[in-house]
Amino acid sequence: MIPGVSARVTIAIALLAGCSDTSTLDGPCSLTDRCDAGQVCDMTAEGGPVCISASGDLDGDGLTNEKDFCQHAMGGATDEDGDGIGDDCDKCPIAPPFSTVDPDGDDVESPCDPDPHTPGDQILLFDGFLNGLDPRWKPTTAGVWAIKPGELVADLSTSNPQDYIQTNVAGKSNISIVASYRIDSLEASASEHKVGVFLDDPRPAGVANTACGVTKADQGSDELVLVETNQGAMNQRVTGAFDSARLYRAGVYVTGTKSGCAVLADQNPLGTVQATITPDQLSSIGLTARAVTVRFQWVLVVGH
Ligand SMILES: [Ca+2]
Ligand SMILES: [Ca+2]
Ligand SMILES: [Ca+2]
Ligand SMILES: [Ca+2]
């Protein structure tokens, strides 16, 4: 079991930060207690959420207040989990803060913290694919990967070779990547289907790598949760790993000589496996797919 992955059993409830006419400027507000017309709720104000003018630019980052979900930090144009706190300043961008806890005080809240009792974790990357594809993402085959509203779609319906999209983060020896996705369809003529996430050490001297995900052979009925590293592989036979009605999360975590992989289906464990890995700093992260059309909702990378 990947530490923290099972704890990330959260439902992104679509709430909108909005404002009505019950408060005056600088009055307190919340997602449900709204501000006057022409104002927005500053959800990240130091003393608690307050109404501010919609038209200013409080932090001077070029995003007017009404379009800024991080009024006191650069960026803040997107808010994946709809809690009114922008992805760029959210201590856990995939979980609304109804019962936020950060026992180790490292500013990564526990649903996103692979180790909520050891300080030092950092959100290295979060992408909800809400604002187009960040140019730092490098697809192996550009035509395969496309942004649809709020999702990164990999269309491998007519292509058997596996394809990848990857980017670099600060190298860490304790690191996790988790992605949320839906399956649209499988390419029936393919010999193998696959969806997963991966971590890699791209340095010339780097050897460590690990990939985690689900596979299905077209000629048989076996579906597997599979972890592969530079040292070996482990799998667990599962059912329902390519169901278009389900919402999945795949996550891999590396610490020391262990790599753990977990896949959730509709927030419930589908399978977990572990394999040994060469201890190393991993800095290349990515998503992969083969002979499927898959829609990734978001990807989160945390490390220390
Ligand atoms: Ca701003
Ligand atoms: Ca901002
Ligand atoms: Ca948020
Ligand atoms: Ca922690």
Percent of the chain with pLDDT over 70: 90
How far, in Å, CA of 87 to CA of 287, rounded? 20
pLDDT digits (tens, 9 = 90+) for 276-302: 999 999 999 999 999 999 999 999 999
- Quick check: 11 pLDDT over 80? no
Torsion of Cα atoms, 160 then 267 then 228 then 163, to 10°: 30
Please state which of the four CATH numbers 3.40.640.10, 2.60.120.200, 3.40.50.2020, 3.40.50.300 is assigned to the domain occupying 126-303.
2.60.120.200
pLDDT digits (tens, 9 = 90+) for 89-141: 999 999 987 667 899 999 999 889 988 999 999 999 999 999 899 999 999 99
The residues whose Cβ lies within 5 A of ligand 4, an ion, are 104, 106, 113, 115, 118, 121
How far, in Å, CA of 93 to CA of 12, rounded? 10
Contacts of 57 (CB under 8 A, 6+ apart): 63, 64, 65, 68
Going by the DSSP 8-state scheme, the letter that residue 36 receives in this structure is P
CA of 280 to the centre of ligand 1 (A): 39
Structure tokens at 213: 């995900």
Q: Which ligand is in closest contact with the Cα of 59?
A: 1
